[in-house]
Amino acid sequence: MLRVHAGFVDHRGGRRRRLLTLLETANDSRRQTYFRLLAVVNGWPPPDDLTPPLTWFIAALHAHASDQR
């Protein structure tokens, strides 16, 4: 069990890099367009635009990474 956990956790910022990659992928403008169109087709209310908070979070992670160097 410890070996699996040790392989998953990277003490050099690996988890932070994976989170950054995930957030940058989620912040793609095509994602917002897709969910907005999906709402129109299905008669749902339009989704909240997550671009501003995702952009802020990405910038914060970049700033934190540059502070760690």
How does pLDDT run across 18-38, given as a tens digit for each residue? 999 999 999 999 999 999 999
**pTM for the predicted model, two decimal places:** 0.70
How far apart are alpha carbons 26 and 37 in whole angstroms? 16
Q: What is the mean pLDDT of residues 55-68?
A: 88
Residue 15: the pLDDT is 86
Q: In the chain, where are the structural domains located?
A: 2-67
Residue 66: the pLDDT is 78
